[in-house]
Each structure stands twice: as C-alpha cells, then as structure tokens.
Structure 1
Amino acid sequence: MSTDGVVLRDVTLRDGLQLTGTPLPTDRKVGLVRALLGAGVPELEIGSLARGDLVPPLADTLDVVAALTPDELERCWVWVATPRHVQKAVAAGARNVQYCFSVSDAHNNANIGRDTAVSLDAMPQAVEYARAAGGRIQLCLATAFTCPFDGPVDPDRVVEIVADPRTAGSCDVVVCDTLGQANPAEVGSLVGRVAAVADGRRVVFHGHDTWGQGVANALAAVQNGATVLDGALGGLGGCPFAPGASGNTAGEDLLFALRPDWLTPAVLADLVTWSEDLLAELGEPMRSATARGVRSNAQAFPWTAGPRRDRTDDGQ
C-alpha cells in the first residue's frame, strides 16, 4: 500500500480542544498554528462556530482567524454547521470551512439542534456563501459508522448523502468515525464506496482511537481512496455530544505510519515536545504510542530522541 501524497490535517485546535476543561488563550492557539504550519503540517482545523456557551474552549475561534495571515488561512479550516456560520467565518477572513452534520438524526439534533434533512437542505446556501467569498467548503459527515443514541448507521445512507446533488459544491468529503467504534474492514468498505461517488472530491477520514483502531482504520481508509487523514496532538479530543467517544487518533501516530517527505526525526521530536507541553497545560493524558516511542532509549533507531530533559539540565 502506497501512502505517497496522503496528507495529515491536524485537528488539535478544534476537535482536540472541544472537551477540555482548561481554556487555551488565543495567542497560545495562534502560536501553535504557526508552529505546526512551520514544521510542515499541510493543513489544520483551527476552530468552530459552535455556540460559545455550549463549547467554551472554541468561543474565540473568530479571534484566532483574525490573528492569522491570508497565507496561513489558506491552509486552515473552520468547522461550521449553518449558512450563517459560513457568512461569519468568511467575513472574519476564513478561506476554508467544513460544513458538518450527522448522518443520524439523533446525533444531529443533539449536536446542532436539527434533523439531518434540514442540514442537507441548507447546504447549497452554505456552498454559495463560501464560493462568493472565494473560499472552499467541505462536506463533513459525522456518525458515518455509529450513532451514540441509535447504534449502527446504514452505510447506504452515507453514500446517498455524498451522491446527493445538494452536496455537489463541496471540494472534499469528510467521513467521520465519531465514536471510534469502527474496524478496518468497515472503514475500508465505506470509504471505498464514498470514493466511488465522490466525483473528484478528496476523501478525508476522521477517526477516533476509542477502541485502539485509529491508525489501522486510517490506513484502511487510505487503501480505499482517502487522501487526507485527521489527527490531533497526543490523541487529544472527543465530542461533547457523543457519549463513549474518546480522543482523536494521535497525529504523531499517523505521521509515523505515513512518513511524509517533510517529516524528519527532529520534526517528529518537536511535535512530541509541543504535544507534551500542551497536554500538561490542559491536564490531559498522553494517548500517542509514537510519543512514548520517541522518548525511549533505543539509540540505534533514528526516530527516538530519548527522555526529555529540561533546558536547564543540558546547560542551556
């Protein structure tokens, strides 16, 4: 299986932060955006237009957008759920929006307060607003495999939505294993079917590692047509409206599996350091196996950096 051309999108600052109890200051978010982009991470998800009272860690998303340059925003995505969200995002300077709704009505109502059909009906207007601003818009399908309230989701329904003319204006299709309960066979099957009807749109796989299948599922998605994978530093994240979901698949683990040209042992060590600092700041556990591997003492393996030392420990 070739992973050439497969892109990581870091979702730390949206899906990663939305369940955290400790707020991250806006300037800290902006600094992390710039560090990740500077390291070579191709794309980032930097926030959400969800109501600030419901998802407080993301209430400053428009401030983050306003602080970034146009060139930086070309590589960043903002989560939206309504045409009005699109208007607000592009007015603030966002170039790329991820229009998200759930395949299951129960989760869509819990997450954004409306039936799936209502979100689908509104998508052409969202597309129009994004295009009028010269931006791009993704179709993002949450609970594509399992709904936390209704159980397994019919894959035929996912394929029908992707093929629906109302979603045709999107540039990408994001297939989400919101609960992290899918296995590689299920992911490969659904992603393959989605790719077959995507009509030239990129297929993005957004996975969670609840049952330890995150990297395996991501590679199954790639094998069946996905060219973008979502991941968060240290496996941070989860959905506040999806009981039973744990963190995202760790970006470090996806990168170690993919080995893109821009990833060097030194860059990976930097990513692990940033992840450690962020998770400590937020009081969150480290879920990345690669991060643990980087800190090992296996000196003959070029991807290890050894145990972390404070700057004062090495005389600096």
Structure 2
Amino acid sequence: MARLPDRVSITEVGLRDGLQIEKRILPTDEKLALARALIDAGHTSLELTSFVSPARVPQLADAAELFSALRRNEGVELKALVPNVRGAERAIAAQADVLVFVLSASDAHGRRNLNRTPHESLNELHEVAATAAAARIRVDVSLSVAFGCPFEGDVAVDTVIDLASRIQGLGIQRISFCDTTGMATPRQVRALAEALGDRLPEVDPAFHFHNTRGLGLVGVLVALQEGIVRFESSVGGLGGCPFAPNAAGNVCTEDMVHMLHEMGIETGLDLAGLMKAAQLAERLVGHTLDGQVMKAGPRLHLHGRGEQQ
C-alpha cells in the first residue's frame, strides 16, 4: 500500500448538500443547532448554505438569515455555494468567508442544474472571481459530475483536467472534484488523482464522493493512496442533487472519520461529537439516515455480558 497521509482536512457539506434535497424544510433555528453541534465536534470548515433561487431550492431560502444568526467562531471557515454573480453578491453581503462557485463537467448536467454549459459557467466564473477579489474574499470551485454524468455517462479525465486548468488560469487553486451521483469507480478515482498530480500539481484538490452505489469510502481510500488530503462529506450521510436522478447521499462524515482514525490518520474531529450531531440531524429531518457508525458505535465499543446482542 502506498504511504498514506498523516492528516487530512474535511469540509462538512451536510447543511447545504444534505438539506437541499430534504422534503422537510428545516427552520433557521434548527439549522443553527446542527451547525453548532458540528462546530463543537471540531469542524473548522462548513459549507453552510447556498445562495441560489429560493424558487428552485426552497430548503435554502434562509441563506442570508443563517449567516447573520450564526455566532462566528475563531478559526471556523463558513462557505457559501454560489452559481452566478448575483449569488456571489448576496453571499458577500451576508459576510461569507469563502465563495464556492459551482459548475458542471458535462453539458447535459450543466444545462439541467445551472441552465448553462461548462464553458458558459467559466465565463460567469470570471465575473464572480473579479467580484470576490474586489471584496477580498477567496473563491473555491466545486466541479460537479467529475467522475460521470447521469445523462451522458463517463466524463473523460482529459475533459476534467481541461476545465480544472481553465479554472486555475483564473487564479483559483482549490477545486473540489465531485462524484455527484455516485458513479466513481476505484479506477476512475486513481486516474483523476494521478492526472492532477502529473499535469496540474499546483491545484489543491478536494474529492467529494456520494455513496449511491456503496463505493463512497472505497473512493476515499483510493484517493488517500494517491495523496489526496482534502475531502468533503455530510453528517449522517445526508444529501443528494435535486437536479440529478437517483442521487443518494454523500459519504457520511462520521463513518469516514471512524475509518480514518482506525487507519491512524488525524482529522482534528471528535467522533463522539460527530455521532451526536448525526443523531441530531436524523431527528431534525425526521427519517433514518444512512450513517452506520452513528447506529453501531465505534469498532471498539464493547458490550457488557448482560447487554442484548
């Protein structure tokens, strides 16, 4: 096995990528309670919400109120997903720490999700980057369907690398490569990670997996072996894309942290606190979540002889 990193960083995306697909629209105070539970568990990077059309994603209509109400913690980075200049302006007004511009790696997903092709999104990104620079706010990019599109099939590594190169050309180094509907295979993960290392060594990549077909943590392991040290995940496994069919939840944060800690890889996160946050999330959304560790407990959670097995 290749040498694994000693430490990785994790951005929690459940408050945005998770709640955007939930039937129950959580009130702002419940979102705040969940955000604070995640921060108490050690998270220093939260994708808090998205400044998108409330008509399209009513679950996130309180984006500005959420930023206004959340008590800021020293060393905690609050990110806002934005699809266009208008969203960027709203996020800047709300005092987001980081803007995350989203674009698709395929034409079909881009048109359905953002009403524009990837290259049209790149033009929009140019304007967003200029707007953010004037406000002295960092822009990251989230590249959807980087491992496969539910409408077009496989997305070529060369296509993803070309888009990432164009993004880097705008002075943006931090790019998340997202497996939006859980189409990534171990071979694809390795191929993209190798291509990034060989052809775009200055890009600072994060990998973002969904567990649609049960391969989310497999993707994480392969990415670790290829030197990826930034990941995105969701509390309790919440999540899915509202504009893509059969998009199941994200890789579960506490399940991934459990695996990483068992491998001797530090995350800076408290597993017990994450489990409490996941249990809170489950109560708030009102249905069973996919996370396993929140149900079974850590591997070495031992049972007394008198406990029911």
Q: Same fold by TM-score, threshold 0.5 exceeded?
A: yes
Residue 184 and residue 78 in structure 1: after superposition, are their counterparts in 2 closer, same or farther (change >3 A)? same
2: distance between equivalents of 1:63 and 1:206? 27
Mapped pair 1:207 → 2:213? no
- The 5 A counterparts of 1:38-53 are 38-53=40-55
User: What does residue 291 of structure 2 align with?
Assistant: 288
1: distance between equivalents of 2:200 and 2:87? 24
User: What does residue 272 of structure 2 align with?
Assistant: 269
Mapped pair 1:88 → 2:94? no
User: What does residue 140 of structure 1 align with?
Assistant: 142
2: distance between equivalents of 1:215 and 1:116? 28
Percent of aligned pairs with the same amino acid: 33
User: What does residue 153 of structure 2 align with?
Assistant: 151
2: distance between equivalents of 1:290 and 1:195? 33
8 Å contact from structure 1 (residues 191, 221) kept in 2: yes
Which TM-score applies when normalising by structure 1? 0.88
Mapped pair 1:97 → 2:99? yes
User: What does residue 314 of structure 1 align with?
Assistant: none
> Could you list the per-position Cα deviations for residues 93-125 of structure 1 after superposition, in whole angstroms to 9, with x for gaps in the alignment?
012011111011111110011111110112121
SS at match of 2:274: helix
Residue 166 and residue 175 in structure 1: after superposition, are their counterparts in 2 closer, same or farther (change >3 A)? closer
SS at match of 2:21: coil
Residue 8 and residue 165 in structure 1: after superposition, are their counterparts in 2 closer, same or farther (change >3 A)? closer
> Could you list the per-position Cα deviations for residues 270-297 of structure 1 after superposition, in whole angstroms to 9, with x for gaps in the alignment?
3212212321321232211222331789
* Greater CA drift, 186-195 or 291-300: 291-300
Residue 290 and residue 84 in structure 1: after superposition, are their counterparts in 2 closer, same or farther (change >3 A)? same
The correspondence for 2:302, drawn from 284, 299, 304, is 299
> Could you list the per-position Cα deviations for residues 113-170 of structure 1 after superposition, in whole angstroms to 9, with x for gaps in the alignment?
1111110112121111112212111121101111111111121110001112665322
User: What does residue 246 of structure 2 align with?
Assistant: 244
8 Å contact from structure 1 (residues 121, 166) kept in 2: no
* Greater CA drift, 149-158 or 64-73: 64-73
The correspondence for 1:36, drawn from 35, 38, 61, is 38
User: What does residue 56 of structure 1 align with?
Assistant: 58
8 Å contact from structure 2 (residues 237, 290) kept in 1: yes
Amino acid at match of 2:131: Y
User: What does residue 177 of structure 1 align with?
Assistant: 179
1: distance between equivalents of 2:27 and 2:58? 12
Instruction: Give the drift of 1:72.
Output: 5.8
Amino acid at match of 1:170: I
SS at match of 1:33: helix
2: distance between equivalents of 1:116 and 1:165? 11
2: distance between equivalents of 1:102 and 1:51? 18
2: distance between equivalents of 1:165 and 1:11? 22
Structure 1: unaligned runs, 5 residues or longer: 308-316
TM-align CA RMSD: 2.3
Which TM-score applies when normalising by structure 2? 0.90
User: What does residue 20 of structure 1 align with?
Assistant: 22
SS at match of 1:229: strand
Q: Which 4+ runs in 1 deviate beyond 6 A?
A: none
User: What does residue 132 of structure 2 align with?
Assistant: 130
* Greater CA drift, 286-295 or 90-99: 286-295
- The 5 A counterparts of 1:223-238 are 223-238=225-240
Structure 2: unaligned runs, 5 residues or longer: none
1: distance between equivalents of 2:299 and 2:123? 52
Q: How many residues align?
A: 300
Instruction: Give the drift of 1:31.
Output: 2.4
2: distance between equivalents of 1:254 and 1:246? 16
Residue 290 and residue 150 in structure 1: after superposition, are their counterparts in 2 closer, same or farther (change >3 A)? same
Larger RCO (CA within 8 A; separation ≥ 6):
2
